[in-house]
Structures are given as structure tokens and as C-alpha cells.
Amino acid sequence: MKLELANKDEVFATLNQILELEMAGVVRYTHYSLMIVGHGRIPIVSWMRDQAQESLTHATRAGEMITHFEQHPSLEIAKLTETHRHNIDEILKESLEHEFSALELYRKLLSLTEGKSVILEEYARELIVEEETHIGEVEKMLKKPY
């Protein structure tokens, strides 16, 4: 299917950035799951591995959107940085930064497609909801109990 938009190049560049960031999320969350130690290790490792799987699902969906419109998905991965800070709070803060980066890209995609492509607009909205939910979960995890 061809997409007839004046900003078509920017739309697909943004979708490829999403794909690359979500692939980096797979690596990031898998790495984090290996670095968790302490009393809360088991549930946090499980949560991190679930996040890695969800990042893969998000990357796949972005790629499917790209190929749906007969474009070529990127084989790149977003930049990964290693802070060497592996306590749970630091890992969660890094995770939060990653989620905000994804949210920013999905919002950009929405602004580029709103009122122009229902499929891309709805895709962006759905992923914005998911990213905002993740951000809320991580923010709750970072709170200290009363």
C-alpha cells in the first residue's frame, strides 16, 4: 500500500527510529535482567524480561507498519550506553529515560500522521498508551514505601 503524504519521508524515518529504539530496548532490558541482584531479584528479573519481550513486539509492529507501506525497515539499533550503575534504582531510572524516549517518538509519529492516516494514527495512539503505562509503573517502582 502506498502512503500519500507530503511528509512521507519524515513519517518513515520516525517509524525506523522507533524500530531501532525498540530493538535497543530488547538488549537493554535483557542486560538489566542479568544485572539485578538482591532480595527483589526474582520478580524484577521477570518484569525486565517481560519488558524485553514487549520491546521486541513493539519493534516488530513498527517494522510491520513500515513494510505495510512498501518501505524498508532499518537494520540498525539505537545507541546503547553502559553506565555501569547496576543498583535497582539506577537501572529503573535508566529504564525510565528509555521509556520517555520511546514516548517522544510515538508522539512525534502521531503529530505527523494525525488526520492523515488512520492506521498510523491509531497505531501511534495505542503505543502512547502503552508507553505512558510503563512510565507510570516504573515511577511507582521508584517510590519509597510509606
The stretch 119-131 carries a mean pLDDT of: 97
CATH of the domain at 13: 1.20.1260.10
Q: Is 21 inside any structural domain?
A: yes
Q: With bands split at pLDDT 50, 70 and 90, how would you rate the model's confidence at 76?
A: very high
Residue 146: is its pLDDT beyond 90?
Answer: no
Tell me the CA end-to-end span of the chain in Å, nearest whole number. Answer: 54
Residue 131: is its pLDDT beyond 80?
Answer: yes
Total tally of structural domains belonging to the chain: 1
Instruction: Report the pLDDT value the prediction gives residue 1, as an integer from 0 to 100.
Output: 73
Residue 85, CA atoms < 13 Å, CB-side half-sphere: 10
Distance between CA atoms of residues 12 and 74, nearest Å: 10
Q: Is 17 inside any structural domain?
A: yes
Q: Is 105 inside any structural domain?
A: yes
Higher pLDDT, 84 or 111: 111
Instruction: Report the pLDDT value the prediction gives residue 98, as an integer from 0 to 100.
Output: 95
**Number of neighbours of residue 103 by Cβ within 10 angstroms:** 17
Q: Is 3 inside any structural domain?
A: no
Q: With bands split at pLDDT 50, 70 and 90, how would you rate the model's confidence at 14?
A: very high
Residue 4: is its pLDDT beyond 80?
Answer: no
The stretch 54-59 carries a mean pLDDT of: 98
pTM, rounded to two decimals: 0.93
Residue 50's domain spans which residues? 8-142
Q: With bands split at pLDDT 50, 70 and 90, how would you rate the model's confidence at 40?
A: confident
Alpha-carbon distance values, 115 to 11, 87, 128, 141 (Å) = 13, 44, 17, 36
> Which residue type is seen at 88?
I
Q: Is 116 inside any structural domain?
A: yes
Higher pLDDT, 38 or 46: 46
Residue 134: is its pLDDT beyond 90?
Answer: yes
